[in-house]
Amino acid sequence: MAIFLLIIYTILLFIRPHEWVFFGLGETQYVRNTLLACTALFLIQRNKNLDLPQTRFMFLFTVTILLSLIFSGWLGSIVVYGQNFIQQSLLPFILITAFLDTRKKLNIILFILVIASGIMVLNGYYQSTDIDGLGLIGNLAYQSQDFLRIRYIGFFNDPNDLGMFFVMSIPIVFFFKNKSPVLLKPVFWGMVIAILYGIYLTNSRGTLLATVALCAYWFWTTYGTKKSMYVAVLFLPALLFVLSKFRTISTEEESAEGRLEAWYEGYEMLKSNPIFGVGYNQFLEYHFRTAHNSFVLAFAELGLLGIFAWSALLTSTMLILLKIAKKSYLPAGLQQEDPRYLAANEEAVIAKMFIYIFIAYFTSAFFLSRTYTPFFYFFLGLSTSSLARVRQIFPDVSRIFSYREIFRTSAFVAISGLVGIYIVVKLFL
């Protein structure tokens, strides 16, 4: 019953058929009510997986958001903004981690995401060919005097968010392509081409760079550093040419200087409120332009505590995925014929897929203010379920993660990010 409701929730959240114009339902509470039903089942579920590192850091990050709202002086915002984050990000993360206790269940959710991306591309195609920019589901594309950018509905209303989801979907399509029969492989190759076309129609440089990052990471892991450097030099002119044909990563043209000014203002916000920041969703109250960088947005709004919590959440996820992908946690002497070894192999493939997904997110998020975007935490929940499944087979979690390593690496990431962006601001502003 739990997985059935989670499937319904995923369909409503990503495909959002209840908001298609020709159904005439408009914005309803279907998503929220399905989430509440899932939560009710979660409360009676025995294994909740609340003790996983990513879950603990997710709770810490949520607490920093609430504290930032409290110390911003607007207590009423806790009800509005705090509730939104808990409902749209925290609860789905927890439910997904608990419910996806088998790979079969995970594959169902992943396949729904592939279907969703296909529907979004098809809708975008209709927008790009319609004289008024009207999509198949009845929504309009973003249009300016000289260009059009496709978009969807819900939290994909911004072309940049849609493009980010597209590029994060590519590794999932390859995941299914690699495990599918020969006759079905062309179908998934066609899906990859369709998504790339969708990325083109979003007209987002950040999304394009994320696609390039995926290709670069694949080439580097396949052929090594030396060949990757040669290829990078060879294809750099072509990349610069393609980038020049794309619009900026925002729905409005913004200069590089404008983004640097926003980063500078982010540091000013951090200096004025170093521990808790200026408050969740409060950046635009202090500057007329958004941060255009998810890291900057995090430390400006949530302070040092918040940027550490966010870094720890991301770092713990990547460190654990890397260990699962490399199977470095396996006990010595485990035979390859052992069912546990075979399960570890399958989880390693899944972990590699999520590594690609988060590389896509990190690249595009560097140019966008997407610290809190709900579908990112949906993906985090999916990846965290991998650790939960591995722990069922190999209970000795000390082989999979170390809190000392996570804290040390998270501190390094947070400090390096703060110093690195500060140097860029000082050099180029």
* Residue the block writes with tokens 């990000």: 89
Q: Is residue 160 part of a domain?
A: no
Domain tally for the chain? 1
Of the listed ranges 92-96, 202-206, 393-397, the least confidently predicted one is 393-397
> 281 and 89 in contact (C-beta within 8 Å)?
no
Q: Is residue 403 part of a domain?
A: yes
Q: Is residue 281 part of a domain?
A: yes
Q: Is residue 299 part of a domain?
A: yes
Containing structural domain, residue 353: 52-99+268-429
Q: Is residue 134 part of a domain?
A: no
In tens, the pLDDT along 266-312 reads: 999 999 999 999 999 999 999 988 999 999 999 999 999 999 999 99
Angle (CA) 394-61-352 rounded to 5° is 40
In tens, the pLDDT along 33-92 reads: 999 999 999 999 888 999 999 999 999 999 999 999 999 877 777 778 888 999 999 999
Element (H, E) at 148: strand 148-149
Q: Is residue 316 part of a domain?
A: yes
What is this structure's pTM? 0.94
Q: Is residue 374 part of a domain?
A: yes
Compute the distance between CA of residue 163 and CA of residue 165 in angstroms, rounded to an integer.
5
Q: Is residue 129 part of a domain?
A: no
Long-range Cβ contacts of 227-235 (<8 Å, 24+ apart): none
